[in-house]
Each structure stands twice: as C-alpha cells, then as structure tokens.
A = this chain, B = another copy of it.
C-alpha cells in the first residue's frame, strides 16, 4: 500500500481548471449538501447532528471551492487508509496527520479554554502527542528516568505543584513525564532503549514538591516515513519539533493538565512541525552547582485549576 500511495501523491499537481474559489459550479445540484444533511434521522443525538451537519457542509464546500476531482479525492482516501494501516499500539499515524495540520494543537487550545476559564496563572496545556504510555512506572522522588544514555545533559528537574488560585502546595499530585532520547526516539520507537526509558511517574510530597533527573531535551523530527511525512514533503515543510519534555499532572480536586515545556535556546521554537509551542511553556535550563549527578537544573512549578 505505502509505495503506491506515495507514488500517487507525487502526481498531485495543478489541474487545468485551476482555482476560481467559487462554491458554484454550473450544473451541480444546489440541494445536494442539504439533502445529505437532511438524511440525518430523528434519533441522532443533538451533538452528533450538530457536528456531522457542520462537517458535511465544510467537506462539501471544500470540494466545490477547490473543484476536487475524483482522482484527487481518491489520493486523500488512500492517505487516510495508509495512516490507519501504519497505526498500532506504538504509533498513531492518524493523530500525527492531524498534528502536522495543527488540529491537535487547536482542539487542545479549545478544550483548555472551555474547561478552565483559567486566566493566565494556570499552567497552559499542550498536545499529548502520539508517544504517551499509560503504564509509566511510579518512581521515588530524587530518582532518575535516564538509563543508558551517554551523550545527554542530565538535568535536575524539580519544583512544586500548586493551586493556581491560592498558590498553596498540592500534596499527592502525580506527574507523568516522558521525553525522547538524544537520538530523537522515544523508547517504544527504539529497540536499543530499555522499556520505559526516559519515562516515569512521580508523586508530590506534603509540600507539593517533586524532583527527578531527566535529560535536557533535544530537537527531533516527527516520523516522516508515512502519510504525515508525505504531507510535510508536499507542503515543503520540515519535520522538526523543538526540544521539549512532556508532562501530565493530575491531583484530586483539580483539573488535570497535559502539557509540554520547551527549551528557550531551541532554534525551532517558532516553526514547530506540530504547532504546539506557547510562550508560557518556554523554560530555561541553568547550570547546577554542587550536584555530581547533573550538569543542569530546571526549577518548574505547575499551577492547577481547582475543580
């Protein structure tokens, strides 16, 4: 499937009819889209009716405005099917296709705004991405998630989880952390890394404190051997993500936050291939003194919104 799909995408070229950006093509049934929407039956839920009506209208408008041909549409179908075929427990290519089109970042921002009404003091969200695992091991504070990586800069990351309204510490909050290794691969992508390398779960103490050793993150390309990579190639875009550490923080009585923090010195902060960077999530790694286990330090506090 993959090679032929790739070859056919190379054929996506300007068509003779070009762009006229009108939604009226002479001779098309003007009621066609209304008929499709009106086929929705009475037992569809209000939310399903709303979402699918809008989706059908947008998809049809897109096809008419751009005079999408059967051949072009079939290339899209093949790309969709190719993404599904590539996806498994370790890889979600459908998600990655959405990510390079900015969709995960957008729905993340929508969801965050809807859920939080948080003001600017809460820790902002960023996309989950395709490499989270639900089964990261629970580790002791002050331990390291780095195993068998010789060329990384070990960082002592620590801080407190606090209530965004009262600034009081939150005890027994859980922090799920994961990051890619220096070769740009997460452990599930790389058979040379031990299971759960650069991944762990930590619990805050009575003062809301957490601490662990991780790596200063390094930039890496998203996997570009599938349809997401094909889209990036068609769009003349690079696959690089700026260096980042993934975090999910949950605590009883608070809204959970899924986020990423970004290294301020990374050259790709302004052109992240999945559009996830927010200014408030950019952090500074600084040299550490008197700690033989690390060369850098990152103090990072996480402010949660009460339920």
Q: Which of A's residues lie within 8 Å of B, judged by CB?
A: 12-15, 17, 19, 25-29, 32-33, 35-36, 39-52, 54-56, 58-74, 77-78, 80-87, 92-95, 97-98, 101-111, 113-114, 128, 231, 234-237, 271, 275
Contact = CB atoms under 8 A, between A and B. Distances in A.
Contact of A236 (B41, B66, B106, B237): B41
A26 B98 contact: no
B84 A25 contact: no
Contacts of A61: 58
Which residue among A82, A110, A234 has the maximum number of chain B CB atoms within 10 Å of its CB? A110
Contacts of A109: 28-29, 32
A284 B17 CA distance: 37
Contact of A40 (B81, B86, B235): B235
A231 B56 CA distance: 12
B46 A14 contact: yes
Oligomeric state, in copies:
2
19 contacts: A12-B48, A12-B51, A13-B45, A19-B50, A25-B110, A39-B235, A39-B271, A41-B236, A44-B235, A48-B235, A55-B101, A59-B101, A60-B103, A68-B107, A68-B110, A73-B107, A81-B87, A83-B84, A84-B85
Interface of A (DSSP majority class): helix
B113 A70 contact: no
A51 B68 contact: yes
A236 B111 CA distance: 27
Given A14-B46, A50-B19, A28 B110 contact: yes
B236 A47 contact: no
- Nearest 7 A-B pairs (CB), nearest first? A84-B84, A41-B236, A36-B102, A14-B47, A43-B236, A81-B84, A80-B94
Contacts of A101: 36, 52, 55-56, 59
A78 B108 CA distance: 17
A180 B77 CA distance: 23
A67 B110 CA distance: 6
Contact of A85 (B12, B50, B87, B111): B87
Contacts of A73: 98, 103-104, 107
Which residue among A33, A103, A108 has the maximum number of chain B CB atoms within 10 Å of its CB? A103
Contact of A80 (B13, B26, B51, B80): B80
Contact of A77 (B50, B67, B82, B95): B95
A29 B295 CA distance: 36
